[in-house]
Amino acid sequence: MQLPKRAAYVVVGAGIHGLSTAYHLARELRKRNAGTGADVLVLDKAAPGAGASGIACGVVRNNYFQPAMSELMQACVEVWESDPEAYAYNPVGYIALGAARQEADLTATYERQERIGYDSELIVGADAADAHMKDLFPDWRAQGVTVCLHEHQGGFAFNMDSVRGLYEKCRSEDVSVVTGVEVTGFADSTDGTIERVETTQGTIEVGEQVVIAPGPWAKRFWKMVGMPDTIDVRTPAGEVIPDQPMWTYWNLQEGEVSIDPLLFAKADGFAPPVIHLDTDAPLFTDDGRLVTDELWGIYFKRDRHGVQGGASPLVVEDDVELDPYPSTTDIDPAFPDMWCAALSHSMSRFEGCRPLYKNARSGGVGAFTVDNFPVFDYLRPNLYAVLDSNHGYKMIGVGKEVAAVLLGEHSRLLYPFRFERFETGDLHPVSSSPYPWS
């Protein structure tokens, strides 16, 4: 498709956020008689889903200790549930299991889910949690678990299938998606608005607004619009911590065990929920080697080719700004042993699975903000940024909220993620999870 000279709305990035924003914006324009999908242009330097969205683990959950994250995720799950076929969504549920130190966090999360009408149940106590899991999986044998939060909503989606579903929804609304075009800069007008988008194939005049949804390329676009590399952060207590790096890269640690997927099923034969296990029980390999005696955690789900999942990511020491998305994730050499040992620790059916482990193109590199939570905000009067801090794939509903903001509405769900929070001290609470995104 030829690059147009002008577009009312230019969306940069054809991943989950970019396509979702374009689709919901086009729908709203048509419903309000304010335009059509032909007014919306999506640009991507490669192809839809070529970045983070196309290799995401695909887990959809509401296990967030932070009130704002939980409420936003409820809206996102509603979008997933609105068309599970198009989005390749599997509503199998999600189970979070924790050690004693996490009981308070998971209890607070459950109570919030109950208040907002999100379907879940809480099981507290080692014996009760063990019995709940054994009802689902008779060979369950994880130790050190004293609390279980079972979300009956949530589940997972197949990554590229959901991207293709969003792409088709965009096309049904006459949105133009142009690939093979890299954005190289933005030209400002005298009032600070973006006047033109500069690309490798020419410039595009902006009629209304620009949305950037760059995924792991967040730092590059952050610089492109003149934002600072470091910022001062005010804590909720009023302390100012100066010169914090705005962006940090983490390598996501994910892999796959190649077994018959049907071997990972519930006792009733149906598909299992996604499982997230955190425990401080000592972890050993099947041959008796100690992996760790500190708090550890994994997540896993049934996939098309076996069992897929991961563990806590690793900080990237090098500056990967120019190429933040290698063809495969840089996996810690210790990860396969740890993850397979943890699977075996969870269920006896996974004992001896280590030889079946394989590196899969999954996870990649995540660009995390200074507090590890997203920034959804205007960086210029007409340039809105969707910077997901690696929470992105599951947040398919953010695009619906962004579309409303672009058309002049206030989003109660996106407001807590404004950039200003670092200056005002309105930061999100921190949980006891070993994961930076929780």
Q: Does one domain contain both 201 and 300? A: no
* 365 confidence band (pLDDT: 50, 70, 90): confident
Q: Does one domain contain both 328 and 380? A: no
- Please list, residue by residue across 137-160, b when 16 or more beta carbons sit within 10 angstroms of its beta carbon and e when fewer do: beebebebbbbbbbbebbbbbbbb
**For residues 141-147, average pLDDT:** 98
Q: Does one domain contain both 212 and 351? A: no
Length in residues, the chain: 438
Q: Does one domain contain both 341 and 358? A: yes
Are 13 and 220 contacting, i.e. CB atoms less than 8 angstroms apart? no
String of DSSP letters for 207-253:
EEEEEE--GGGHHHHHHHTT--SEEEEE-TTS-EEEEEES-EEEEEE
pLDDT 10s digits, 43-84 = 999 999 999 999 999 999 999 999 999 999 999 999 999 999
pLDDT 10s digits, 261-274 = 999 999 999 999 99
Q: Does one domain contain both 113 and 227? A: no
pLDDT 10s digits, 88-126 = 999 999 999 999 999 999 999 999 999 999 999 999 999
pLDDT at residue 324 above 90? Answer: no
* 243 assigned to some structural domain: no
* 242 assigned to some structural domain: no
Phi, psi of 296 (to 5 degrees): -135, 165
Number of domains comprising the chain:
2
Q: Does one domain contain both 116 and 186? A: no
Q: Does one domain contain both 424 and 356? A: no
pLDDT at residue 331 above 80? Answer: no
> What pLDDT is stored for residue 322 in this prediction?
46
Q: Which of 185, 213, 307, 160 is CA-nearest to residue 19?
A: 213
% of the chain surpassing 70 pLDDT = 95
Q: Which residue has the tokens 């396969």?
A: 336
**For residues 202-229, average pLDDT:** 97
User: Exposed/middle/buried for 2, CB within 10 Å: 0-12, 13-18, 19+?
Assistant: exposed
What average pLDDT does the structure give for the chain? Answer: 94
pLDDT at residue 372 above 70? Answer: yes
String of DSSP letters for 44-105:
ESS-TT-SGGGG---EE----SSHHHHHHHHHHHHHHHH-TTTTTEE---EEEEE-GGGHHH
**For residues 1-23, average pLDDT:** 96
Q: Is 40 helix (H, G, I), strand (E, B) or coil?
A: strand
* 317 confidence band (pLDDT: 50, 70, 90): low
pLDDT at residue 321 above 80? Answer: no
Q: Does one domain contain both 322 and 264? A: yes
**For residues 207-234, average pLDDT:** 97
* 177 assigned to some structural domain: yes
CATH of the domain at 37: 3.50.50.60
Question: CA–CA separation, 334 vs 232, rounded Å?
Answer: 36
Q: Does one domain contain both 362 and 380? A: no
* 328 confidence band (pLDDT: 50, 70, 90): very low
Range of the domain at 166: 1-89+155-236+371-438
How many CB atoms are closer than 10 A to CB 78?
14
String of DSSP letters for 377-418:
EEEETTEEEEE-TT-TTT-TTHHHHHHHHHTT---TTTGGG-
**For residues 214-242, average pLDDT:** 96
> What pLDDT is stored for residue 359 in this prediction?
80
Indicate the pairing of strand 274-279 with strand 296-303: antiparallel
* 312 confidence band (pLDDT: 50, 70, 90): confident
The mean-pLDDT minimum among 217-231, 313-327, 358-372 falls in: 313-327
pLDDT at residue 230 above 70? Answer: yes
Q: Does one domain contain both 50 and 171? A: yes
% of the chain surpassing 90 pLDDT = 88
pLDDT 10s digits, 389-398 = 998 899 999 9
pLDDT at residue 167 above 80? Answer: yes
* 157 confidence band (pLDDT: 50, 70, 90): very high
